[in-house]
A and B are shown apart, each in its own frame.
Chain A
Amino acid sequence: MALHAELEAQIDKWRGYVQRRQAISPADVDELEDHLRGQIADRRATGLDDEEAFLVAIKRLGNLDAVSREFAREHSDRLWKQLVLVPEGSGDAGTPPWRELAVVLTLAVGAGVAAKAGLAWLDDGAVLARNLCLLVFPFLAAYFAWKRRLTARVAATLLVPFAALAVVLNVYPFASGGSTEVLATLHAPVVLWLLAGAAYAGGRWRSDSRRMDFVRFTGELAIYYTLLALGGAVLIGLTFAALQIAGTDLRPILEDWILPFAIPGALIIAAWLVEAKQDVVENIAPVLTRVFTPLTIAMLLALLAVFTAVGGLVDTDRDLLILMDAILVLVLCLLLYSISARDPLAPPGLSDALQLVLVVAALAVDAVMLTAMLTRIAEFGFSPNKIAALGLNLLLLVHLVRAAWLTVGFLRGRRPFTALERWQTRYLPVYGAWAAIVVMVFPPVFGFA
């Protein structure tokens, strides 16, 4: 097989090309590939070389547009099936769709009940904030565990860090309103999210492509969640207004029942929607990243310009630094998502150049931030907040520098896009490790202040 590496690569490329057709399902692509290989083998038997055989076979297969149209005519449902709640079971689907819907609804209600119970029994606001994500996370993980049929060993490896996190968050004697407590509350979801990623990957968390799928999943989840939230808000707002005119106040029910169930429940539903309707969002993702990459560049450049104009980095406000961290994290998410949405085989283009500009702009902002932070630390000394922010900025710096380097390599045709992809996916656990350190190590080191 190694002899025909070139041919295999060509067939792979062709597969990727055909797969993008909505009307041609993955099973049909398999069937067409089998056909293509049969034709190639026969052509080679008549003395053609690999490339000639491939070309003849492709030509014989016909114009892809016309073939795809013919598939669409026969399978018009495929163009719509993504919009139907319960997809018709394809031949090799493991579980009946209704059972999945039932599982999802049960888990969503369960997440709501857990959140509601937390709200009812945990009076202290800070304790509640620390525990809220711990309460909802198991239901999301349970969905993945069910969906991916996790083995007991994988489930156990996920359960151990989860339990450790839960114990730490509740046993540590945090000083009331202390910064280590706030830091732990903010960083615990990051750890949990990466654990959810491990569950999503079905235990194959070492696989780069599974990690990339999880990045994609995260971005799409954010989109779906926003859509659900918007729809929900409109519904609630209308009901609220109508009932108010009728003389009934919805507020107590809204605060006590609707929101505690809707907010965590929508997370599970959104996760299921992403799983079930991948195709719909796949079409939106590249568009969204293309729209927001230039806009984000403009935002970063504006920020940089303001910083340089204002000067006096030492006086930079602490809140501003936190805000800037949030912006950089957002930029990173955009970068990750646009990399995940890109076809790795496509040649470098304008959007890749823009992406490089984005990374460089983010790097410049990060450098400004680091300088400001180091000056602050030199002047006012260490504090848990400053170390946490400094650590995050250093991680971002390493991530962005390498990403910029690899993007330049890709644009100059020296490296494949997959190198850039792999760097992202390999680096992801570092953030989790750092978040775990902030949650577990910071409080004792800084005396739970």
Chain B
Amino acid sequence: MRIDKDLVAASATPLVLGILSEGDLYGYAILKRVSELSGGGMQWTDGMLYPLLHRLERLGYVSSSWGTSEAGRRRKHYAITPAGRDVLADRQEQWTVVADALRQVWQAAQRPPVAAAEGWA
């Protein structure tokens, strides 16, 4: 299943912040985690992750530091900041409201559309 790109874009920030709240990670590991969490359903254009991370860094939600990989290459690690945790909590509330509303709509959609039929009549 391919997820609509607007939906991917909207969920990207909370997803990345949420993953980083589990622990510090570098770019490729973040993407792998996204893929794992969504069962491979959410496929990002890999390159797009970095402008996003840089934006979150500019906004002060994450901090970065250069380290080295197992192969001895330069690797940039990202960590969530307290401001990032606040934003994450805020987004979590928003998404809960959205998800809740959607769930009610899905449930309503599964019931026979009596009211709607009457309305048209």
Contact = CB atoms under 8 A, between A and B. Distances in A.
Interface of A: 27-28, 30-35, 37-39, 42, 60-64, 66-67, 70-71, 73-75, 91-92
Given A34-B73, A74-B55, A61 B47 contact: yes
A57 B26 CA distance: 17
B69 A61 contact: no
B77 to A, nearest CB: 10
B51 A35 contact: no
Contacts of B26: 34
A31 B27 contact: yes
B21 to A, nearest CB: 21
Nearest to B70: A41
Given A38-B28, A62-B45, A32 B50 contact: yes
Nearest to A68: B47
Nearest to B56: A74
B20 to A, nearest CB: 16
B46 A39 contact: yes
5 contacts: A37-B73, A38-B29, A67-B51, A70-B47, A74-B54
Interface string B26-62: 1111011000000000000111111100110010000
A66 B5 CA distance: 14
Contacts of A91: 66
Contacts of A28: 50, 54
A67 B28 contact: no
A42 B28 CA distance: 11
A35 B45 CA distance: 12
B71 interface: yes
Contacts of B49: 35
Contacts of B46: 35, 39, 60-62
Given A62-B46, A67-B47, A70-B48, A35 B28 contact: yes
B22 to A, nearest CB: 19
Please give me the 10 A-B residue pairs with the lowest Cβ-Cβ distance, nearest first: A62-B45, A67-B47, A38-B28, A62-B47, A70-B51, A74-B51, A61-B47, A35-B28, A61-B46, A60-B46
The A interface is mostly helix, strand or loop, or mixed, namely helix
Contacts of B66: 91-92
Given A61-B46, A64-B47, A66-B45, 20 more contacts: A31-B75, A34-B27, A34-B28, A34-B69, A34-B76, A35-B28, A35-B46, A35-B49, A38-B28, A38-B29, A60-B45, A61-B45, A61-B47, A66-B47, A66-B48, A67-B48, A70-B51, A75-B54, A91-B66, A92-B66
B74 interface: yes
Nearest to B58: A74
A58 to B, nearest CB: 10
Given A31-B76, A37-B73, A62-B46, A73 B51 contact: yes
> Looking at A27, A38, A67, A75, which has the most chain B CB atoms within 10 Å of its CB?
A38
Contact of B47 (A32, A37, A38): A32
Most chain A CB within 10 A, of B29, B46, B48, B76, is at: B46
Contacts of B74: 30-31, 34
Contacts of A64: 47
B28 to A, nearest CB: 4
Nearest to A42: B32
Q: Choose among B28, B48, B54, B74 the residue with the greatest number of A CB atoms under 10 Å from its CB.
A: B28
A27 B50 CA distance: 12
Contacts of A42: 32
A62 B49 CA distance: 11
A431 to B, nearest CB: 38
Contacts of B47: 32, 61-62, 64, 66-67, 70
A91 B71 CA distance: 23
Contacts of A92: 66
A42 B58 CA distance: 30
A32 B28 CA distance: 9
A10 to B, nearest CB: 16
A436 B58 CA distance: 54
B45 A67 contact: yes
Nearest to B57: A74
Contacts of B55: 74
Contacts of A38: 28-29
Nearest to A31: B76
A71 B50 contact: yes
A31 B30 CA distance: 13
B68 to A, nearest CB: 10
A39 B75 CA distance: 14
Nearest to A64: B47
Contacts of B29: 38
A34 B66 CA distance: 12
Contacts of B31: 35
A360 to B, nearest CB: 45
Contacts of A62: 45-48
A93 to B, nearest CB: 13
Contacts of B76: 27, 30-31, 34
A37 B71 contact: yes
